Structure formats: structure tokens, C-alpha cells
């Protein structure tokens, strides 16, 4: 196994993993490997829930919320060893950073869809339909 190093820029322990899994090293001590495992678990759970909830005509955001509940302390967190091994405390700041970057990019894309008048591009005003009926006398 590797030796833990702490730096001023990164206060968490990082391990030098050499030889890989075949030599008995724990791959989850590597920051990148742990992050990739977390992303795969989060994305797979979300996709599976979205696929199942699609039959109930539920939007994808409902699947994302349920995946967070399922993977967090309320769901899988009740399994001993799940949170300390798959979502350890030292990995949460990096996962939060990536989530915040994703949120910023998503809000940027939503902002691209807005026009200066405050309407979403290609969408009409909800009240326009009622005003048209009043003008026609209906």
C-alpha cells in the first residue's frame, strides 16, 4: 500500500497506489478512482430510476432526487460501511465542487434560452390564449 501525504493545498490524505488491484492495493485510496466510482454509481442509479419512473410519466428530476435519497444516509447509508467506503468524508469536497460546476454550467445553459424580455425562447405567454378568446368574443 502507499504512504499517506498531506499538503497545504489539499489537507486530505492521498495515497500512492502502485501495482493496482492485482497486487492487493485498494483502488479506492486513489482520489481519481474513488471519484470515478462515485460518478458511475450516481449516474447508474439515476438512469435506472429515470427508466423506471418514465413509465409513470415522472420527470427525470424526480429520479435524481430519489437517487440522492437512496444513495445517501437515509437509504444505503444504513448499510454498515457503505458511506465510509464509497462516499468517505474526505471525498465530499471534491464531489461537491464538481456538482457545483455542473450546476453553474446548467444555469448558464438555462440563461442562454432566455430572451431580454424574460421569456423562454420559443415559448408563448400563458395569458396570450385567454386574451385571444376575449378579442374574438368567446
Indicate if the pLDDT at residue 17 is higher than 90: no
Spatial contact of 46 and 65, defined as CB atoms under 8 Å apart: no
What is the domain extent for residue 95? 89-138
For residues 9-13, give the mean pLDDT. Answer: 54
Ramachandran class of 125: left when φ > 0, alpha when ψ lies in -120 to 50, beta otherwise: beta
User: Does 66 share its domain with 107?
Assistant: no
pTM: 0.65
The grid coordinates of residue 96 equal 461537491
pLDDT one-digit tens code per residue, 69-80: 999 888 888 888
Residue with cell 423506471: 52
Helix and strand numbers (H, E) in the chain are 5, 2
Highest-pLDDT range among 28-32, 89-93, 131-135: 89-93
Same domain as 110, residue 95: yes
Q: For residue 120, which phi and psi values (nearest 5 degrees)? A: -75, 135
**Considering its fold, how many domains does the chain have in total?**
2
Please state the rounded mean pLDDT for residues 3-18. Answer: 54
The mean pLDDT value of the chain amounts to 78
Shared domain check, 82 and 35 = yes
Distances (CA, A) of 106 to 43, 102, 103, 120, 128: 16, 6, 5, 15, 29
pLDDT in tens, 78-99: 888 888 888 888 888 999 999 9
DSSP bridge partners of 15: 4
114 vs 71, more confident: 71
Query: Do 66 and 2 fall within a single domain?
Result: yes
| Shared-domain flag, residues 83 and 58 | yes
Do 24 and 77 lie in one domain? The reply is yes
Q: Are residues 71 and 12 in the same domain?
A: yes
Neighbours of 90 (CB within 10 A): 13
Q: What are phi and psi of 115, to 5 degrees?
A: -95, 165
The reply to whether 21 and 64 lie within a common domain is yes
The yes-or-no verdict on residue 28 having pLDDT over 90 is no
Q: How confident is the model at residue 45 (pLDDT cuts 50, 70, 90)?
A: very high
Q: Quick one: 12 and 63 in the same domain?
A: yes
Q: Do 70 and 10 belong together in one domain?
A: yes
Same domain, 76 and 130: no
Q: Is residue 34 located within the same domain as residue 98?
A: no
Amino acid at each position: 500500500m502507499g504512504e499517506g501525504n498531506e499538503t497545504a493545498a489539499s489537507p486530505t490524505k492521498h495515497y500512492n497506489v502502485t501495482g493496482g488491484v492485482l497486487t492487493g492495493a485498494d483502488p479506492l485510496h486513489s482520489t481519481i478512482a474513488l471519484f470515478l466510482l462515485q460518478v458511475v454509481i450516481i449516474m447508474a442509479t439515476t438512469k435506472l430510476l429515470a427508466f423506471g419512473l418514465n413509465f409513470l410519466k415522472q420527470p427525470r428530476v424526480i429520479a435524481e432526487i430519489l437517487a440522492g435519497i437512496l444513495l445517501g444516509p437515509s437509504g444505503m447509508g444504513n448499510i454498515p460501511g457503505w458511506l465510509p467506503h464509497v462516499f468517505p468524508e474526505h471525498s465530499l469536497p471534491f464531489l461537491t465542487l464538481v456538482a457545483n460546476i455542473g450546476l453553474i454550467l446548467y444555469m448558464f445553459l438555462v440563461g442562454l434560452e432566455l430572451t431580454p424580455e424574460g421569456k423562454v425562447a420559443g415559448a408563448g405567454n400563458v395569458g396570450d390564449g385567454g386574451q385571444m378568446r376575449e378579442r374574438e368574443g368567446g
